[in-house]
Amino acid sequence: MTLKKIGFIGTGIMGAAMAGHLLAAGFELSVYNRTRAKAEGLLAKGAKWCESPGECARGQDVVITIVGYPKDVEEVYLGEDGILANSEKDAYVVDMTTSSPILAEKIFAAAKGKGIHALDAPVTGGDTGARNATLSILVGGEEDDFKALEPVFSKLGKNLVYMGAAGAGQKAKACNQIAIAGALAGACEAYAYAKASGLDLEKTYQAISAGAAGSFQMSNVVRRGLDGDFEPGFMMKHFGKDLAIGTETSAAYGAALPVLGQVLSEVRQIERQGEGSKGTQSLLWYYGIGK
């Protein structure tokens, strides 16, 4: 099956860049977003606007979603005017939202009952990876379906990993976010110690970021906060959502993750202060740095 027509739902920070790569690669692109203004750049380049998720799914070879929360995923896939109610038999539907592995399994089963191929394929790499098409894409579902979608995935990312059965992509993304939580909080704590002990924060960064303490979170996320830039590459409220998925499902899987629970409580405090739309570097504020 030649994949030519793609419906893309969710044109926020990540989705707009990703959809733009597909448009540039020559795919016929239809888009839907709750706020049309966020899709205007794509429409100006030739994408077709749709009025609903169902309309965006109708007649497409592939439907891709990257929306906010698991409740949004469930609505766009299983709702009355949703994706599964409108997709063609043998179409591919791909959720690239960070969502619940349990929900991914539910969508897979519902899609299979309609002869539709469903994959969960969350991404890592943030806004930079989306803009540069260097994302890591972690895929759960049938392996043959993953192989069929590789020409599409290759326009969005460089590290394409088939993780296993439905839900496996979301489980891998939870692992990713759990690792980020510890790395980000650890870096923030280092600067909290530096500040409390009287060290210069910039000199501390120069001293520790290039050695064994260095990490992507320190050099690309915390660095922005130290520079006074708290605008989102990845919003704190979405990070909180991701960490909550990890805590909820870890209990179901019997895994004890105390560091994850602590970082989630820190993130929730930033959210309660009304700063959920700032970047994850705003975790520095929890430690009294930068605000």
pTM: 0.93
Given this model, what pLDDT does residue 126 score?
Answer: 85
Q: What is the CA radius of gyration of the chain?
A: 20
- Which bin fits 116, alpha (ψ -120 to 50), beta or left (φ > 0)? beta
Tokens of 116: 């539709």
Given this model, what pLDDT does residue 164 score?
Answer: 98
Residue 32's DSSP bridge partners are 9
Domain residue limits, the chain? 5-165, 172-286
Given this model, what pLDDT does residue 77 score?
Answer: 98
Given this model, what pLDDT does residue 109 score?
Answer: 98
Given this model, what pLDDT does residue 204 score?
Answer: 98
Tokens of 87: 């997709």
Residues with catalytic roles: 173
- Record: fold of 172-286: N-(1-d-carboxylethyl)-l-norvaline Dehydrogenase; domain 2 (1.10.1040)
What residues of the chain score a pLDDT lower than 70? 1
pLDDT in tens, 130-174: 999 999 999 999 999 999 999 999 999 999 999 999 999 999 999
CATH assignment, 5-165 = 3.40.50.720
DSSP-assigned states of every residue in the chain: ----EEEEE--SHHHHHHHHHHHHTT-EEEEE-SSGGGGHHHHHTTPEE-SSHHHHHTT-SEEEE--SSHHHHHHHHHSTTSHHHHPPTT-EEEE-S---HHHHHHHHHHHHHTT-EEEE--EESHHHHHHHT-EEEEEES-HHHHHHHHHHHTTTEEEEEEEESTTHHHHHHHHHHHHHHHHHHHHHHHHHHHHHTT--HHHHHHHHTTSTT--HIIIIIIHHHHTT----SSBHHHHHHHHHHHHHHHHHHT---HHHHHHHHHHHHHHHTT-TTSBGGGHHHHTT---
Given this model, what pLDDT does residue 90 score?
Answer: 97
Cα–Cα dist 131/125, whole Å = 10
Cα–Cα dist 165/189, whole Å = 37
- Which bin fits 24, alpha (ψ -120 to 50), beta or left (φ > 0)? alpha
Cα–Cα dist 109/115, whole Å = 10
Residue identified by tokens 């893309």 is 8
Inter-residue contact 158 to 149 (CB < 8 Å): no
Inter-residue contact 239 to 184 (CB < 8 Å): no
Given this model, what pLDDT does residue 291 score?
Answer: 83
